[in-house]
Structure 1
Amino acid sequence: MAEAQTTENPDEFSLKTVEKQGGLMKEDGTYHEAFGGTELMTKALTERVDKDLLEKFNIIKSRVRTVSEDKPNILWLHDLWNDPENAHLKDAEARKRFARLVFVSNYQMNTYQLALGIPFSESFVLKNAIEPILVPGNTDGSWNKPDDVIRIIYHTTPHRGLNIAVAAVQALCENGYKDKIHFDVYSSFEAYGWPERDKPYESVFKTIKEHDNMTYHGFKPNDVVRKALSQAHIFAYPSTWVETSCISAIEALSAGVQIVCPNLGALPETTGNFATMYQWNENQQFHANVFANFLKGAVDNYKSEDMLRKLAFAKNWADNFYSWDMRANEWTGMLNGLLQIEEAKKKVANGQGT
Structure 2
Amino acid sequence: MHLCFMDIAAAYDAQTPYTMGLGGTQAAVCYLSAALVKAGAQVTLVNQKREAGEALGVRQLTPEALDDDTLQSFSAIIVNGRWTEELVRHLKQRTPTPLWAWMHEACFQTPYILPLAEFAGFLFVSEWQRHLNAPLVPKPAKSPVISNGIAPPFHTLFLPNEKILSAKSAPTAVYAGSSKRGLLQLPEIIPALRAKHPDLLFEIYNDGVVGTDENENREFREKLLKLEGLSYLGAVSQAELAARLKRASYFLSPNTYPETFCIALAEAMAAGCFCIATARAALPSTAHGFAALMPVPMADDPSWQPDSLSAADFSAFATEQITQWQARPAEGREKHLRAQVDFARTHYDWGKHAAEWKKFLGC
Q: Give the TM-score of the pair, scaled to structure 1.
A: 0.76
1:319 correspondence with 2:345: yes
1:26-66 superposed Cα distances (whole Å, 9 cap, x missing partner): 95334125711111111112211133377421110122243
Q: SS of the counterpart of 1:302?
A: helix
- Indicate how the Cα distance of structure 1 residues 144 and 117 shifts in structure 2: closer, same or farther if over 3 A, else same: closer
Q: SS of the counterpart of 1:84?
A: coil
Distance (Å, rounded) in 2 between the aligned partners of 1:198 and 1:125: 38
Q: SS of the counterpart of 1:242?
A: coil
Report the residue type matching 1:291 in the other structure: F
1:124 correspondence with 2:144: yes
Contact 1:134/1:230 (8 A) holds in 2? no
Report the residue type matching 2:189 in the other structure: A
Per the alignment, residue 176 of structure 2 pairs with 155
Report the residue type matching 2:340 in the other structure: A
1:169-193 superposed Cα distances (whole Å, 9 cap, x missing partner): 21122x2422x11110011267xxx
Per the alignment, residue 232 of structure 2 pairs with 216
Which of 42, 45, 51 is equivalent to 2:41? 51
Structure 1 residue 209, shift from structure 2 partner: 0.9
Per the alignment, residue 63 of structure 1 pairs with 82
- Indicate how the Cα distance of structure 1 residues 315 and 334 shifts in structure 2: closer, same or farther if over 3 A, else same: same
- Indicate how the Cα distance of structure 1 residues 323 and 236 shifts in structure 2: closer, same or farther if over 3 A, else same: same
1:81 correspondence with 2:107: yes
Distance (Å, rounded) in 1 between the aligned partners of 2:221 and 2:214: 9
Segments of 5+ residues of structure 1 without an aligned counterpart are: 1-25, 338-354
Per the alignment, residue 241 of structure 1 pairs with 257
Contact 1:151/1:182 (8 A) holds in 2? yes
Per the alignment, residue 352 of structure 1 pairs with none
Q: SS of the counterpart of 2:239?
A: helix
Q: SS of the counterpart of 1:75?
A: strand
Number of aligned positions between the proteins: 300
- Indicate how the Cα distance of structure 1 residues 74 and 140 shifts in structure 2: closer, same or farther if over 3 A, else same: closer
Contact 1:133/1:251 (8 A) holds in 2? no
1:225-264 superposed Cα distances (whole Å, 9 cap, x missing partner): 1211111111110002111111000101101111111111
1:184 correspondence with 2:203: yes
Report the residue type matching 1:73 in the other structure: L
Q: Give the TM-score of the pair, scaled to structure 2.
A: 0.74
Structure 1 residue 275, shift from structure 2 partner: 1.0
Higher relative contact order (CA 8 A, sep 6+): 1
Segments of 5+ residues of structure 2 without an aligned counterpart are: 13-20, 45-73, 298-304
Per the alignment, residue 7 of structure 2 pairs with 28
- Indicate how the Cα distance of structure 1 residues 199 and 330 shifts in structure 2: closer, same or farther if over 3 A, else same: farther
Distance (Å, rounded) in 2 between the aligned partners of 1:110 and 1:299: 33
Per the alignment, residue 311 of structure 2 pairs with 288
Q: Percent identity between the aligned chains?
A: 21
Distance (Å, rounded) in 2 between the aligned partners of 1:268 and 1:83: 24
1:141 correspondence with 2:162: yes
Distance (Å, rounded) in 2 between the aligned partners of 1:163 and 1:195: 11
Of stretches 52-61 and 40-49 in structure 1, the one that deviates more from structure 2 is: 52-61
Distance (Å, rounded) in 2 between the aligned partners of 1:223 and 1:213: 24
- Indicate how the Cα distance of structure 1 residues 210 and 46 shifts in structure 2: closer, same or farther if over 3 A, else same: same
Per the alignment, residue 253 of structure 1 pairs with 269
Contact 1:37/1:247 (8 A) holds in 2? yes
- RMSD after superposition: 2.8
Per the alignment, residue 26 of structure 2 pairs with 39
Distance (Å, rounded) in 1 between the aligned partners of 2:140 and 2:296: 28
Distance (Å, rounded) in 1 between the aligned partners of 2:113 and 2:29: 23
Of stretches 205-214 and 38-47 in structure 1, the one that deviates more from structure 2 is: 205-214
Per the alignment, residue 341 of structure 1 pairs with none
Of stretches 47-56 and 272-281 in structure 1, the one that deviates more from structure 2 is: 47-56
Per the alignment, residue 68 of structure 2 pairs with none
Structure 1 residue 147, shift from structure 2 partner: 4.7
- Indicate how the Cα distance of structure 1 residues 79 and 202 shifts in structure 2: closer, same or farther if over 3 A, else same: same
